[in-house]
């Protein structure tokens, strides 16, 4: 049982909660959030220790069960997502594993998109199968396919919107209706949009999952994850599992992502505006075959994006370079990526430093060619997570490769 942290009025804006909510201030009165880097906590006496270990009295005992810095991050993120509570995990994948292990058992069925992050597909499709859980992968954008996949044993719908790397959306409200009609839960991976653009529970989702490694940290320093939702499900069921299973976030990493939340809104809005400018510009380059970005009018789900993502397209875009055969497409994509001198060739995203990747050989490299085709990840596809560099420098960086393609 962690203590309720700093007291704030209800109904403030997410930007205010981002810098003010859930401060665990010590008796020294420090202004910046303290980092409680400790594995255990000293108890006043045996009686009080017994009550704390039995969770009958608030207070800290051991960091695997609760820690003030981790609690600050959890409570602040929950405020921003508009959920009752959150639990923080070591990584985004640990958060997804936590959802799977606490909502599913042998014989249960999951419906998930066929174009999600590669490790999520592996986890739900292969690893969970060893425990008797069946997963159906359906088209991200075709609501009727999600509805048709429902079985009496369906317990969870898992969606990621927008997707990595093609920025396909799903309609959260419609998926929530399908899930609830089937007596199942809807979990949404909100790592790409963040609560600044999209708050899935407002559209009916039950659980919100984050890779805090992405936009929440925002400066590529640590790995982190979180699950947000109701007190009963997230603190009760998932928190209990987490405390026993030891999937919890370290205080140091929690402190980094807690500070990341403070600048999240500014970064996401600036990076989204830059991504829109870059995507618009790329659309007119002769060596670019297609641009995938929800902020563009040409995106098939532009209207949904504007409705669901606070009128913004997000910080990630993808584009297909021109070319014919898979070999030529791959060579052209490698050419453009390898000529950049400002962008970082690295798989992470959501960083203030722009990152550029070739999904078919990295994040989606472990999938079969068939799975890649189904996900629409072609050999010529390049993903860019737009950071805070000057736009002219980013354009010039991409032109080094685009203008020298044979
Ligand atoms: C959408 C999405 N969800 C989850 C993850 C996994 O997060 P982590 O790397 O923190 O485990 C990633 C990682 O790239 C991701 O892109």
- How many Å apart are CA 222 and CA 273, to the nearest integer? 25
Smallest CA-to-CA distance from 225 within 112, 114, 123, 360 is with 123
Cβ of 160 closer than 6 Å to ligand 1, yes or no, is yes
Q: Which pLDDT does position 4 carry in this prediction?
A: 56
Q: Which pLDDT does position 306 carry in this prediction?
A: 98
Cβ of 192 closer than 6 Å to ligand 1, yes or no, is yes
- How many Å apart are CA 217 and CA 223, to the nearest integer? 8
Tell me the pLDDT of the chain averaged across its residues.
95
Q: Which pLDDT does position 3 carry in this prediction?
A: 54
CA 92 / ligand 1 centre spacing (Å): 5
Give the pLDDT confidence of 218-268 residue by residue, as tens digits. 999 999 999 999 999 999 999 999 999 999 999 999 999 999 999 999 999
Three-state SS sequence of 98-115: HHHHHHCCCCCEEEEECC
Cβ of 211 closer than 6 Å to ligand 1, yes or no, is yes
CA 405 / ligand 1 centre spacing (Å): 32
Give every residue of the chain whose pLDDT is below 50, as ranges: 1-2
CA 383 / ligand 1 centre spacing (Å): 15
Return the residue whose CA atom lies nearest to atom 9 of ligand 1. 92
Q: DSSP of 30-85, one letter per residue?
A: -SSPP----SB---S-HHHHHHHHTTSS----BTTT--HHHHHHHHHHHHHHT-SE
Give the pLDDT confidence of 21-72 residue by residue, as tens digits. 998 888 899 999 999 999 999 999 999 999 999 889 999 999 999 999 999 9
Return the residue whose CA atom lies nearest to atom 10 of ligand 1. 92
| Structural domains of the chain, with CATH | 14-262 (3.40.640.10), 265-402 (3.90.1150.10)
Joined tokens for residue 169: 């959306």
Cβ of 90 closer than 6 Å to ligand 1, yes or no, is no
Q: Which pLDDT does position 10 carry in this prediction?
A: 87
Q: What is the phi-psi region of residue 280: left when phi exceeds 0, alpha when psi lies from -120 to 50, beta otherwise?
A: alpha
Atom of ligand 1 nearest to the CA of 116: 1
Torsion of CA 50, 55, 59, 61, to 10 degrees: 60
Atom of ligand 1 nearest to the CA of 225: 10
CA 30 / ligand 1 centre spacing (Å): 33
Peptide bond into 162 cis (omega under 30): yes
- How many Å apart are CA 187 and CA 227, to the nearest integer? 9
Q: Which pLDDT does position 11 carry in this prediction?
A: 87
Q: Which pLDDT does position 369 carry in this prediction?
A: 80
CA 254 / ligand 1 centre spacing (Å): 17
DSSP state at residue 122: H
């Amino acid at each position: 049982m962690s203590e309720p942290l700093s007291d704030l009025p209800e109904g403030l804006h997410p930007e205010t909660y981002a810098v003010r909510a859930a401060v665990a201030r010590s008796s020294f009165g420090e202004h910046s959030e303290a980092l409680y880097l400790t594995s255990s906590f000293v108890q006043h006496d045996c009686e009080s220790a017994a009550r704390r270990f039995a969770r009958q009295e608030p207070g800290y005992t051991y960091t695997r069960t609760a820690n003030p810095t981790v609690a600050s991050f959890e409570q602040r993120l929950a405020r921003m997502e508009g959920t009752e509570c959150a639990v923080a995990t070591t990584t985004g994948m640990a958060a997804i594993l936590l959802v799977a292990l606490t909502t599913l058992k042998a014989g249960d069925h999951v419906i998930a998109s066929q174009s999600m992050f590669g490790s999520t597909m592996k986890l739900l499709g292969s690893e969970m199968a060893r425990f008797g859980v069946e997963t159906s992968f359906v088209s991200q954008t075709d609501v009727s396919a999600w509805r048709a996949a429902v079985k009496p044993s369906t317990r969870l719908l898992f969606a990621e919107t927008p997707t990595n790397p093609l920025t396909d959306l799903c309609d959260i409200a419609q998926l929530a209706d399908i899930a609830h009609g089937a007596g199942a839960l809807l979990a949404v991976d909100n790592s790409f949009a963040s609560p600044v653009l999209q708050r899935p529970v407002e559209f009916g989702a039950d659980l919100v999952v984050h890779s805090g490694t992405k936009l929440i940290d925002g400066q590529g320093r640590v790995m982190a994850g979180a699950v947000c939702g109701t007190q009963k499900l997230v603190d009760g069921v998932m928190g209990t599992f987490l405390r026993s299973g030891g999937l919890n976030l370290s205080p140091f990493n929690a402190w980094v992502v807690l500070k990341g939340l403070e600048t999240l809104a500014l970064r996401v809005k600036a990076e989204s505006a830059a991504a829109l400018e870059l995507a618009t510009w790329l659309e007119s380059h002769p060596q670019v075959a297609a641009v995938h970005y929800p902020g563009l009018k040409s995106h098939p789900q532009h209207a949904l994006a504007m409705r669901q993502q606070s009128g913004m397209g997000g910080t990630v875009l993808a584009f297909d370079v021109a070319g014919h055969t898979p070999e030529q497409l791959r060579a052209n994509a490698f050419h453009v990526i390898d000529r950049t001198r400002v962008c970082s060739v690295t798989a992470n995203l959501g960083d203030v430093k722009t990152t550029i990747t070739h999904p078919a050989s990295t994040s989606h490299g472990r999938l079969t060619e068939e799975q890649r085709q189904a996900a629409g990840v072609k050999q010529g596809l390049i993903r860019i997570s737009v950071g805070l560099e000057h736009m002219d420098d980013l354009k010039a960086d991409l032109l080094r490769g685009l203008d020298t393609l044979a």
